[in-house]
Amino acid sequence: MPTIGVFAAITDTSGRLLCVRQNYGHRYWTTPGGRVEVGESLLDTLRREVIEETGLTVEPGDLIGIYHKLYCDDLVFSFEARVADGSPQVMTNEIVEIGYFGVREVPAPMAFNTHLRVLDALERSRGVVRVFPSETSVA
């Protein structure tokens, strides 16, 4: 059974994407989000994870894409999200930094698959399906 995650693509008025830097593992940058809990819907997970990590209340929008890491059986959904209330701030010790970034300023370090998910969001893509057979390649 795959693990399932959901991540939010939140943009500011300039079209820059909100990213958070993790305070664990490789300390990678990503978008706000996390794992779906038992009995929780994808959209409820999105709302919960975003408020836990950034303090923002969001309304989910369009599905940007589905990203499947075959090498670790991880399935991720990326949704556009609109800020309903709040201003972004670090809310948990799991996150060390937060900020908005444009396509030419995507922060590093970032996992390969996350980088593609971020670019899909910045390009306003919809209906993307990406399968990652290994940590560094796309099929």
Asked if residue 73 has pLDDT above 80, the reply is yes
- The proportion of the chain whose per-residue pLDDT surpasses 90, expressed as a percent, equals 94
Return the pLDDT at 90: 96
Strand, coil or helix: what is 119?
A: helix
Q: Which fold has domain 3-132?
A: Nucleoside Triphosphate Pyrophosphohydrolase (3.90.79)
Quick one: pLDDT band at residue 87, thresholds 50, 70, 90?
A: very high
Region 103-125: mean pLDDT is: 96
Strand, coil or helix: what is 113?
A: helix
Region 102-108: mean pLDDT is: 96
Neighbours of 116 (CB within 10 A): 17
Asked if residue 53 has pLDDT above 70, the reply is yes
Return the pLDDT at 134: 87
Domain boundaries of the chain, sorted by first residue: 3-132
CA dist 101 and 122 (Å) reads 9
Cβ atoms of residues 115 and 106 within 8 Å = yes
Asked if residue 99 has pLDDT above 70, the reply is yes
- For residue 62, give Cα distances in angstroms to 72, 92, 106, 127: 26, 27, 22, 9
Model confidence pLDDT, tens digit, residues 23-44 = 999 999 999 999 999 999 999 9
User: Phi/psi at 46 (nearest 5 deg)?
Assistant: -55, -50
Strand, coil or helix: what is 116?
A: helix
Asked if residue 137 has pLDDT above 70, the reply is no
Cβ atoms of residues 29 and 19 within 8 Å = yes
Return the pLDDT at 138: 45
